[in-house]
Structure 1
């Protein structure tokens, strides 16, 4: 090892690599961080909490204006006759009012954004092979005061769990009571959607905003996996997650695909760097291993600094590049269920009680642990963005650094 170190520092390569490292970490990474999150210098972290909230609110305002502009032009009303038609995918948005002016006077209008974006994507997806229908599932227990929902029900078929505003207790619900209601809401919405002749269910929360390629990628994977509803499925799949928190998608993880990805990217970059370097700075054969090792360490550290989330986003170039991996635990903002898969999940959820520290996602993960045969997958990169800074679970504004 000492011999290698002496050889390394004697080579001009050591100075070149030092210069490249300084330029990378004092110029390159900071410039990347101006545009991309989840780098080693995540730009959001440089803002204070209040600044970050203000920034995210301004972005939210822009999305609201875009959604309202689209919905103003959209005049399609879903007819009841479409209930008789078999639909491959029923997209169901679970919604509840947020921030009833308890926290501030801001109206986040997440449902408006999600409905507008979903309808827009369904209209744009001209080459889709499967059929889709959009539903809203209102689980607010004060439905008469949910003003944001009213105009949307004229556009999208809506299920209501509560038809009167008499079920909300006078006192504030505990977290455990809210988690139990959230589980019951989830079951209700899924079961109601399957009453409308759908083969698969995309169950999404009203603060999960679809990305531009959502329909295209779902359409491709459901066809590839034989989940079109017209033929027996090729694979025994319980559900496919379409979102996992970005902060949990980095290289440092217990998920088995992460570290191999890091080293593969490092090897690819190393090969390119070594080839280019040897063209301009030929090195004796006995020193080439040192050059290769130096670039490999540099490349792996560079990949870590840029962040897996940013490298993975390159896959958005084409639906064929998206990655299908085993689903990690946690979180249910957007999941596609097969009919049999949802029946299995809902049957289990009915047998358990959710409480603080044991939400519906934990209950689902526990079922998967007890039944390894339940196959759950995750599509990466994410097909949704979580925009819910106003939490319906705890009636508070979330820390912007974990949204």
Structure 2
């Protein structure tokens, strides 16, 4: 018996050595959110040059689609009941010329959204795209102008510039952002929609965004043609990937870790016993050893990378209670947005109390408000140029 256990620990130790010191460090060169991210930080960091190359490719593809769309499209559709109004909230990026680069995020997001809506012609729910221009110098927002011919657009400052002679403080900027958000949501609801998807202009939809949203909203009874069956206020479609790991206060994370560990343990034990049969009464230590190894393996690979497997099918996406923070892409029910907008109008945003923090405070004050998150993310944050801070940021932070 001692010899059997000694041989097992020797094999397990060798497997762990190869896994944690060779295989996973190499794997982390191509995949983010492993425990080895800091080890390869300099090599893996997305330089501005690399990010621009990727961005330029997306711009080229977006312009090609829009050109074809202009040729084939009809007139802007008459207002009719729509299940989901998708509104892109936009301001001009890099206006202060941090450099000479024009990122054209709005062009990319509008192009991709139009593609997805066009492909969703036979979906259970109906969709319509809007642009909400909250730029306070609208006449110099040149990227927006050609897109207004394709997509219904409403502007918060249609007539003249409201930009003060001095630069806004952080408090003023955050308050304006909150007011912009409320304006865009309310204007969208005026367009005869049942639900409103508010998305920022640097949140790029993934290829399956509409199909996944269509499936889950219909299942939850949030379509115009199906009565509401729950008190859902909103559903988040994006949460920063860096906050989606196993080590978290969210209740579902640790059970996921142990469940994945058990699944892998079963596989490893079965494989090991096939190669080296061991008496049933001596197998507990084999199970324990592989369970510890499997949990460490899952933790090292990262929840974000395991969650990506769910992208295989819209039926595999996970719906969980929504965590705090961040508003790049959220679907609100009509009643849900009315509740949120009423509260936002009653508070003033300032440094340390942005609109997302205000929404979280509302949820704590009203436990009956139900907020969900669809995982993995249905959007990719592509913004390097912050509209709040007038600086270049790492888009993976937000």
Q: What TM-score bracket applies, with the shorter chain setting the length?
A: over 0.9
- Residue of structure 2 aligned with 1:226, choices 221, 224, 237: 221
Aligned counterpart, 2:85: 90
CA distance in 2: counterparts of 1:400 and 1:189, whole angstroms? 23
Correspondence list, 1:65-84, <5 A: 65-75=60-70, 79=75, 82-83=78-79
CA contact (8 A) 1:53 1:400 kept: no
Residue of structure 1 equivalent to 2:11: 16
**1:24 and 1:50 mapped to 2: Cα distance?**
24
TM-aligned CA deviation for residue 80 of structure 1: 5.3
CA–CA distance in structure 2, aligned partners of residues 316 and 44 of structure 1: 28
**SS at 2:47 equivalent:** helix
Shift of 1:122: 1.1
SS at match of 1:97: coil
5 Å-filtered alignment, 1:19-58, equals 19-42=14-37, 46-47=41-42, 52-58=47-53
In structure 2, the residue matched to 1:3 is: none
Q: Number of matched residues?
A: 397
Counterpart CA distance in 2 for 1:28 and 1:106 is 39
Structure 2 match to 1:319: 314
Matched, 1:355 2:350: yes
Which residue in 2 is equivalent to 1:273?
268
Whether the aligned pair in 1 keeps the contact of 2:381 and 2:395 (CA below 8 Å) is no
TM-fit CA distance, 1:62: 1.6
Find out whether 1:216 has 2:211 as its counterpart.
yes
| Deviation larger for 45-54 or 86-95 | 45-54
Normalised to the residue count of structure 1, the TM-score between the two structures is 0.94
- Residue number in structure 1 paired with 2:373: 378
- Which residue pairs with 1:190 in the alignment? 185
* Aligned-pair Cα RMSD in Å: 1.9
SS in 2 for 1:390: coil
Structure 1, gaps ≥5 residues long = 1-5
- Change in CA separation of 1:373 and 1:78 when aligned onto 2, cut-off 3 Å: farther
In the alignment, what sits opposite 1:103?
98
CA shift for structure 1 position 57: 2.1
The alpha-carbon deviation at position 189 of structure 1 amounts to 0.5
Q: Deviations over 1:326-350 (max 9, x none)?
A: 0001000000011000000000000
The answer to whether the 8 A contact 2:269-2:286 is kept is: yes
State the shift of 1:47 in Å.
2.6
1:291 aligns with 2:286: yes
Distance in 2, Cα, partners of 1:319 & 1:378: 14
Aligned to 1:252: 247
Q: Which runs of 5+ in 2 are unaligned?
A: none
**Cα drift, residue 15 of structure 1:** 1.4
- 1:211–1:338 CA distance, 2 compared to 1 (3 A): same
CA contact (8 A) 1:239 1:377 kept: yes
Cα distance per residue 1:247-299 (max 9 Å; x no partner): 00000000000000000000000011001101101223443111111111110
Shift of 1:147: 0.9
Check conservation: 1:37, 1:43, Cα contact below 8 A: no
SS, match of residue 255 in structure 2: helix
1:152 — aligned with what? 147
2:132 and 2:317 mapped to 1: Cα distance?
29
Contact 1:121/1:215 (8 A) holds in 2? yes
Deviation of 1:61 after TM superposition, in Å, equals: 1.6
Structure 1 stretches of 4+ with a deviation exceeding 6 A read none
What TM-score does the superposition give when structure 2 sets the normalisation length? 0.95
Q: 1:337 is paired with a residue of what secondary structure?
A: strand
- Contact between 2:383 and 2:395, CA under 8 Å: does it hold in 1? no
Tell which deviates more after alignment, 269-278 or 224-233: 224-233
1:179 to 161, 174, 185: 174
Structure 1 residue 9: deviation in Å?
A: 9.3
